[in-house]
Amino acid sequence: MISNLTQAQEQQEFVVDADKRRLFDFQEIWHYKELFYFFTWRDIKIKYKQTALGFLWAILQPLLMMVIFTFFFGRALNVPSQNLPYPVFVFSGLLLWNTFSTGLTNSANSMINNAQIIKKIYFPRLVIPVSSILVAVFDFMMAFVLFIPILIFYQQPVAFSALWSWPLAILVTLTATLGPGTLLAALNVKYRDFRYVIPFLVQVLFFLTPVIYPVSMLKYPVLQYVIVLSPMYAAIELFRYPLTGAELNSTFILLSLASSVIILFAGLLYFKRTEDFFADFA
């Protein structure tokens, strides 16, 4: 009897795997919460390792882009800026856009960059793209430090609505980044062509998002509706709201939010259904 029980125990197999019944297993993610810190801080150190300016690059990039766009678009082309000084207008948009573009690029390539870890041990694969996006949030916080002196220099008043609209704008940015980030991360594992598509996609989305121009500049309503379908439209408009004081277009905001949510669920669903094969293709 004892020998039979021992043999039965030896024949048991224990499989550590994700719960396929849930699209987003919060309990499992919380169990591995330390990995978010580990992967995020590791990627931050790698990104700025052996650089002379270090973390200052997170500030210089939006600053230099602001100067370039101000010279060519603000002065040469006289692009409207919703009654804001054009440097304030464009820098407020670049703050969130750089978070989105950096997070999207990092997360899209994250599974391939961590292929060796994926093959060795199990943990929720979603930790990797989310951690890559958190690296972009770190860059945002560094650049936001510069945004305050810019507001003071141009004597730009900020309404109290910033207490809720700015955090909400950041949350919307993370949502808008996580959806396409997880989708491209899963696609990039199996189809390596996407690594060449991603930079082109980011460039196209930049000009299809009102970062350096307002939607009101477009005279055709059809074009306006195309622009507001960008997942980042709502985030940028919410972030600028305490600065411009202009009334938010609820229809445009809802369309942008709906676009973000749809892409988010599509990305998470495809990521969840294909994560078992990451170790084979990575």
Mean pLDDT of 208-221: 88
- Determine the pLDDT at residue 110: 86
pLDDT exceeds 70 at position 7: no
Please indicate whether residue 159 or residue 116 has the higher confidence score (pLDDT): 159
- Determine the pLDDT at residue 247: 86
Mean pLDDT of 188-200: 83
- Determine the pLDDT at residue 124: 80
Predicted model pTM = 0.84
Helix ranges (DSSP H) in 11-126: 26-31, 34-47, 57-69, 86-113, 115-120
Nearest partner of 250 among 275, 228, 232, 219, judged by Cα = 228
Q: What's the whole-number average pLDDT of the chain?
A: 83
Mean pLDDT of 227-237: 93
Mean pLDDT of 249-267: 94
